[in-house]
Structures are given as C-alpha cells and as structure tokens.
Amino acid sequence: MTTVLFVLGMARSGTAALTRVLSLSGAALPPGMIGAAKANSRGFWEPRQASYLNEKILRRHHSTAADPTLRLHEEPADRRDIDEIHAYLTTLPPSDVYVIKDLQITPIAGMWFEAARIASYNIGTVIAVRHPHEVIKSVTAMMPVVKPELGAALFVKNSLLAERYTRGLPRVFVEYSYLLEDWPREVKRISTALGIDLNPDETAINEFLAADECQQQADGSACPEPFGTDWVTTTYHNLHRAAGGDTWSQHDLDHVFCDYRASEQRLRTALDNYQRVTKAQRFIPRKLILEIAALAHRRKGTWA
C-alpha cells in the first residue's frame, strides 16, 4: 500500500530541505515540480498541480496562504474539495512512498488526509520546526509586503494547525537546525516514527545540504511577540521540545489556540463590520444623508 508523507508547518521553516532530503531517501516526488527561484535557489520541491489545487480551494473559501484567520478551519469540510484532492492523488504514478509539500497545504491538511484515506493510502506526517525569529525574517525578506506582525500570526496559525491536524496520525517533528546539523540522525528518527524504510543517498544529500542558504539565524534572540502575548514563544517552545524528543505540552498549545482563535474572531468581526459600514457609506454618501436631514428639518433650529 502506498504511503504519502505530508510535510507540514510554516513556510520558510525548512520544509523544502526536508522534502528534498526525503526524496533523496527514497520517497517519490509527484511529477511537475515548481522549480528553483531567487527565493529558493535549491528548489521548492512542490508539485505545481497540487499548488494550483490548494490555491483554488483556498480562494473558494475566501482565503489565501497569507490569511492569518481561522475562518476556513471553522467551516465544515466541503466534499467538492476532498473529491478534487482525491482525483489528483489517484493520478500519481505507482510508488511505495510519496512525499508532498506545498506552502498552502497546512491550513487544509485535514482535507488532504481524508482524500488520502479514500484513496486507500497510508498517511505519514513530518512537521517542520524552526525558530520564529528566523522564519519571520526569512518570510519578510522574501516578501517585503509581509510585515513582521503578519509573519508572526502566520507562524502561530500554521504551527498550531500542523500539530492539531496530525493528532492520532503517525508524525514526527523535525527542527531545521537539527536537520542541517545531523541529517542521518533526523532521517532515522523519521523512518522510526513513521514506520517506513528510507534509504538515503548520502552523497546527494550532503551535496544538497552543503549548498544550504540559511541566511536568517536566531543568534540566541528571544521569540518575537508583537501581540503582547506569549503565543509565539509557547508554540515554538513546545514544538522545539517535541523535535528534540523532550516532554512537551499539548495542553499549552491548546491554550494558545483558544486564545488566538478568540482574539482573531473578535478582530475579524470588527473588521468585517468595518467593511460593511464602508461599503454602505460608499453607496449612501454622508453629504446626501445630512442634506436630506437638513431639508426634513426645514434648515431651522439646530439645522439652520
């Protein structure tokens, strides 16, 4: 039976490096990759068709990869989305193990898991972990339009969803710095945790990782907390401990998730309300309203 390994987590957390190492260890890549670019000169290792599909699903639900809200997470699963993912998965050529990664996949990972089950595939998950200081600096360097506040919100959202969606599934957390430091150890951890046989091409992996361009480093700095909370710190602390094989707290992550969801919902409600007010004012100008009121009061008294 085919096993599909899903690489999840926040973009710029080493997901591309993880995916490539897995592919050089025997996991097949779907055909039609997104090639190397300035933002990642070693390649993104994302299948174009999966990327197109994820974008379509997100837009269908009025979301994008840069959406910090949990709007899509709150909605019931759409059968059409799952059917489309299933149709894509069934086009993959035969292979014992596949690895699939896309920067848009984490918010809709549950749909991919359900589609994989329908296709009778085994599921394995690899969650990339990286210090948020490095992630946010990398994201904002790649896309200057993204400010640190949005980068931090996306780090919290994608990290929490990656952990929540994979509960009860075979999974392993991999710290990016640990992969660069000792990739054979991390590949062995993945193989053991997911119950799959990986056969690394040592020369190819060494050459690939030797060209790593890890330009953003945490240098011991504290986690950025732009919202006056401990969301980023608590999230990273627990995932980092999980990646190191140490005791970590799912309860702490649940607490952050509940706080983030409540705050995000309140802000979203206010912003949605603002947009409705703005739209209404666009169609009924303030000048028109006031002049009608003045006429109704015959421009007398306080309306004189």
SS (H, E, C) the chain: CCEEEEEECCCCCCHHHHHHHHHCCCCECCCCECCCECCECCCCCCEHHHHHHHHHHHHHCCCCCCCCCCHHHHCCCCHHHHHHHHHHHCCCCCCCEEEEECCCCHHHHHHHHHHHHHCCCEEEEEEEECCHHHHHHHHHHHCCCCCHHHHHHHHHHHHHHHHHHCCCCCEEEEEHHHHHHCHHHHHHHHHHHHCCCCCCCHHHHHHHHHCCCCCCCCCCCCCCCCCCCCHHHHHHHHHHHHHCCCCCCHHHHHHHHHHHHHHHHHHHHHHHHHHHHHHHHHHCCHHHHHHHHHHHCCCCHHHC
Q: What integer is the mean pLDDT of 7-32?
A: 97
- Phi and psi angles of residue 187, each rounded to the nearest 5 degrees, phi first: -65, -40
Report the percentage of the chain scoring pLDDT > 90: 77
pLDDT band at 129 (very low <50, low <70, confident <90, very high): very high
Distance (Å, rounded) from C-alpha 155 to C-alpha 204?
31
pLDDT band at 220 (very low <50, low <70, confident <90, very high): low
pLDDT band at 213 (very low <50, low <70, confident <90, very high): low
pLDDT of residue 99: 98
pLDDT band at 86 (very low <50, low <70, confident <90, very high): very high
pLDDT of residue 81: 97
pLDDT of 192 above 60: yes
Please state, as a whole number, how many other Cβ atoms lie within 10 Å of the Cβ of residue 242: 22
Please state, as a whole number, how many other Cβ atoms lie within 10 Å of the Cβ of residue 216: 19
For the whole model, what pTM was predicted? 0.89
Domains in the chain, start-ordered, CATH in brackets? 3-248 (3.40.50.300)
Please state, as a whole number, how many other Cβ atoms lie within 10 Å of the Cβ of residue 183: 22
pLDDT band at 61 (very low <50, low <70, confident <90, very high): very high
- The candidate with the shortest Cα–Cα distance to 50, out of 96, 93, 112, is 112
Q: For residue 71, give every residue at least 6 positions away whose Cβ sits within 8 Å of its Cβ, in sequence order, or none.
A: 61, 62, 63, 268
Please state, as a whole number, how many other Cβ atoms lie within 10 Å of the Cβ of residue 56: 11
pLDDT of residue 155: 98
pLDDT band at 219 (very low <50, low <70, confident <90, very high): low
pLDDT of 168 above 80: yes
pLDDT of 127 above 60: yes
Q: What integer is the mean pLDDT of 32-40?
A: 87
Tokens read off for 102: 């896309």
| Least trusted range by pLDDT, from 9-18, 32-41, 170-179 | 32-41
* Cα 136 from chain centre: 13
CA atoms within 13 A on the CB side of 31: 7
